[in-house]
Chain A
């Protein structure tokens, strides 16, 4: 297993930030892969399986979040999560 974490830097671009439905989308996405993904903001870490932790990050619009991914699917899932952020979690604004 690749123990070196894959990282991606993403910027929160949607107006409402990483809110409950967005966090749910992240959690649901990550769950489909064999990887452990952590979001990091200002040194505060949140597992992507835990919605409450993600919401507590305060990832509002304009903030930069580090996506850290470990596991066999680390690359794929890191890109997918980054894609979610970039595409405003596929929600209408």
Chain B
């Protein structure tokens, strides 16, 4: 039994078989292919051999050219090793006769050679390992794309998951996931929460300690991963999983009741979604609307840009399901950690992607893509209660530019006689500190504000939330962040402008009383946390919350704020503040 500590990003407990995705640790499982699939597997092997040979000859040519023939010769010998008829025969036999997967065959055969080399103390042991690694990389690289086609429940363990991989996960079979890198607020974390499966990220080196097929427990509340747990631990977690389910059922019972405080103030609880299918969860848990529909997931995991119809279909599905309740469509927030595989002409490698051409900047740079999305959102606006929101605005000029393009698209629709909601509210995200400094101007030009704490924290505290060495500095409770939030809320209230908060902060129970106390009457949270946040709202009074906010704002550092809030939560809502 091994316990590994990471960062908890999506709560819950998952127990099951590991599926290790990376080749780096060389700890791939011994896997069999289904009967009848042997020939296909041999074909995979042959393709991998051919691809590896191509890669090796490329290296050979480069090295020969740069360092001389003598150095290139080592790759020539690798190349010839892969032409070895006995070796290839052994590999094929293992697949055909023992139904081993190509990966397992490669591992078994190469390890056999490695053992021989070790015994004869050959100085070429490293070469064998190198060739094995190359082969596995080619094979696994291909295998990773099959993540959407699983046939048994698994816990996915990887060095990292790309946005398209997470977006394409087959949720029927992926019970949870763990990555070696990543932090709270990274796309992996957001997707895990959206899928409502337990996830732990930033666990550090792990893949050399676990093999596919091992039993693994993911504790998404404590950020703990337990490899090959003993029976007692499994039993304990089974009980915990059961209790969590019971608590969830108890909280779900609140779904028909409003998020109203003890002193009768109605808090509007909206939901953050990434995929149209999540609307079901929102409705089941009694969400008052969609506060944030992250449309960038339409772009991720697809090699081609979604056309207007693809946008329209997705929006229509969400808008119609929500009926008269508001749906806030946020235009695509791509770039930084969410890079689509779309062709973007003359887009250069970013040295500092979080501060680079991302989000609204990308929209204003690739106008046809932006206009396509706006057209679809406008067309969907007649189907229900749609609001439109621009992400990562940092200057007034940028906001005006985005609004001008929107007006232009409206004009086009008018000319084409296509109906849309002319009074559609247009809002913006507040996630750049500069905007907060200029908030008095912004409130004159939008219909609503939404505070995006994930980026606001990152930009205010200058912390990369996916860098595990500095992630401890990333803290929603930091007084500087709280002051920016207060300032935004107050500016909006002076204009009676609706303002909500949609970052991860809103879904963490310890902040609910603080946010209500600071004046927020709208919170947008992941659907899974709706019942919990609602239950807090129903257990407190606004007077209490205001008192808590006043005190919290006098504290000097994040740690004090957090421990104060934790204590208050425990005091007022003990069943949640465990």
Contact = CB atoms under 8 A, between A and B. Distances in A.
A60 B124 CA distance: 12
Interface in A9-62: 16-17, 19-21, 23-24, 27, 50-53, 55-58, 60
A53 B112 CA distance: 12
A24 B73 contact: yes
Given A56-B113, A56-B117, A21 B122 contact: no
Interface centre among B74, B80, B86, B116 (most CB of A within 10 A): B80
A56 B86 CA distance: 12
B73 A21 contact: yes
Contacts of A16: 123
B86 A52 contact: yes
A16 B124 CA distance: 10
Report, nearest first, the 6 A-B pairs whose CB atoms are least far apart: A58-B120, A20-B77, A52-B84, A24-B77, A52-B81, A50-B84
Contacts of A24: 73, 76-77, 80
Contacts of A17: 122-123
Interface in B54-94: 70, 73-74, 76-78, 80-81, 84-87
A21 B77 contact: yes
A19 B80 CA distance: 14
A58 B77 contact: no
B119 interface: yes
Interface of A: 16-17, 19-21, 23-24, 27, 50-53, 55-58, 60
Contact of A55 (B74, B76, B85, B124): B124
Interface centre among A17, A23, A53, A56 (most CB of B within 10 A): A56
A60 B87 contact: no
Nearest to B126: A20
B308 interface: no
A51 B117 contact: no
B440 interface: no
Contacts of A55: 81, 117, 122, 124
Contacts of B113: 52, 56
A58 B127 contact: no
B232 interface: no
A53 B86 contact: yes
B35 interface: no
A17 B125 CA distance: 14
B120 to A, nearest CB: 3
Contacts of A27: 80
Contacts of B120: 56-58, 60
Given A52-B81, A52-B84, A56-B113, A21 B123 contact: no
Contacts of B352: none
A14 B113 CA distance: 23
B73 to A, nearest CB: 5
A63 B85 CA distance: 26
Contacts of B209: none
Given A20-B77, A24-B80, A58 B86 contact: no
B121 A53 contact: no
A16 B74 CA distance: 14
A16 B84 CA distance: 22
Contact of A19 (B76, B87, B124): B124
Nearest to A24: B77
A53 B120 CA distance: 13
A15 B225 CA distance: 49
